[in-house]
Structure 1
C-alpha cells in the first residue's frame, strides 16, 4: 500500500511537471515533442505585464501543436489555462498584439476579437497590465477559445515580432511581397509560330455559350480582418475549383496586387461582389467593363446560402470587401502560408446589393 501511494505521488508530480495526463505519467509514456521552440523571447513582450512566464511549458505545448498530438495539447493547454494565465496572455499577445491589420483575425473567435484591441494597445504603450487582467478574468471557455486561436498561429511558425525574431538564428524573413508578374498568354507561342488562333471572343456565338464554365473557376469562403486603423472588414477568399485556376490565372485575368497580409490593397470599384438582400446571400464575384457589362466572372454561387447574421451586418455596414486568393484549401492556415510566401493577390471590391 505504501509503495503504491509513493508511486501515485511520483506519477502525480511527474504529471504536474510535464503536463502529461496522469495515466501517461503512470506508464512512463510521456511524449516528448522535438524540436522544442525557443520561447524565452516571450518574456520581452509586454503582454505578461512583467510576471514570471512558464516558457518551458509554452514550448512543449507549441511543439505538441506542431506535431498535432491531441492528448498532449489537451493536457498542456489545461495546465497553462489553470496555472499560467500570464503565459497565455504572452502567447496570444505575440499573435494578436502584433498582427494589427493582418489577416490574423480572419477566423478568430469572438473572445479573441474582443481581447485583441487590448493586446494592440499594449503593443503601442508597452504596458500589458490591462491585457493580462482581461485574460485572468476570463472563464475557462473564453480563455480556451483565445488560446486555441493563438495556437493555430504558433503551430505554423513563430509569430514573434520581427525585431525579436531577427535575434534568433535562422533565415531572415521576407519584408515585402515579390513584384506582381503577368504570365504570358500560352497562345502567344502558337501565334509566333504562324499558327492562326481563334478564341471564343473571335467567334460570334451569341448568348448560347456560358463563358463562365469555359474559364477557370473558384470557390469562396468567408472571413473577417481588420484595417490598419483597427476597423473590421469583411473578407472573401478564393480557392481553385478547377485545375486551371490558381495564381497564374489570377495574374493573367486581374490587376490585383500582391498582398503580404499587412495593410490593405487598393480599392477597385470595377470589381463587384454581388449580394442578394432578400435571402441574405452572395451570388457572384465579377469585374464590370467600361460598357457596364461583366467581362470577368471569377465565382458564381451554385446555390443560395444564407450568410451568418454577423457577417452580413458587417458587409452591409462597410459596403466593401477584401478579396484575396488563391489559397490551396479553405483554411485559415492556408491564407497565412500563402501570404508569407508572397503567393496572394488581393483587391478591395465594392458590394453590389440587389
Structure 2
C-alpha cells in the first residue's frame, strides 16, 4: 500500500469513528449511542429510597455512558455539560450505582480518583452497609460544579469498565432499608476509605465554597440581649448572595429575633468556650418529617464555617453564659471587617440557630 493509500485508509477509518459525531455536534445535534446500559437499566427500582417520588430521567446518563464506551469525544463533551446542568439525583444515581457495584469487589475508589470521588465512595460504602442511598443526592447537590465534574469524570471511567456487564447486575443495589448510616463530620486528616458504620468520615472536600471569618458580639432585640455571631466575608464567593440564596437566610430584622431554625447549629467547645464551626444538619434535608430533636447532631450537609487550627476564636464569659441560658445564638452577616454596622442594612441577613456545646466539630 502506498503512503497515499495508507493515509486515505486511515482517514476513512477516522471518519467512520468520528466524522458523523463531529458533523452532528457542529450542527447542534447528537447521534445515537447504545453501547452501554439503557435509561431503564439505570433507573432505581424504588426512587423513594433515593429521596425522590418519581424515577429520574436517565436518558442523558445512558447516552453519555455509551458515548464514552464508543470513545466519541464530541458527544461526551456535549452530554457531560448537559448532565451537569440536570438535577443532582441523576449524577447521584449514575455515580452511586456504579460505585456500589465497584465496592462489592474493591476497597477504594482508585488511586487516580479525585478527592470528591474518594469522599463520595466512602459514603457509598456507608450507604451500601446500611442499604440506604438517600444520603447520596444531597451530597452531590452541595458539591460545587468543578467537584461534580470531577466526580462525573471518574464515574464515567468506571462505567466504561462496567458498561458491558449484564443489565441485571446494574439495577438497584439496595433491596431493603435498615436506616441511615451514622456519618460524623470532623476535621481534615481522616481517611474516608477506612470508614465503617458509625465512624468518622472526612467531608472536608464538600465544604462550603465561600470563606468567612467570625466575630462574637451581643445584639439587642425585643427579647433582650442575645449572643450573636457576625460573619465577615473572606473570599469573593462570600457575601449577601451566598448567605441569602445559597444558605437560605432571611432578611435581618432590626431589634427583632426570628424563630429558631433548628437546621442551623453553632458548635462550641464545652470546655474552652471556643467556637468550632457553623453547620447545617443533613437530616433537615433528608428527614424533614421528623422532629428536630430526632435529627442526628453530627451529620451535616453544609459546613458554612470551621474554626482555624490551632487558634479557634474564643467567646467572652458573658457571651457564653447568654448562649448557654438561651441555647440559641443569632447568626448574621455579611459584615465588613473592622466595622460594627453593615454598609447596607437591606443587604444584611440572619438566622436564629441552636448552640451545641460539644467536645469536637
| Same fold flag (TM > 0.5) | no
TM class by shorter chain equals 0.3 to 0.5
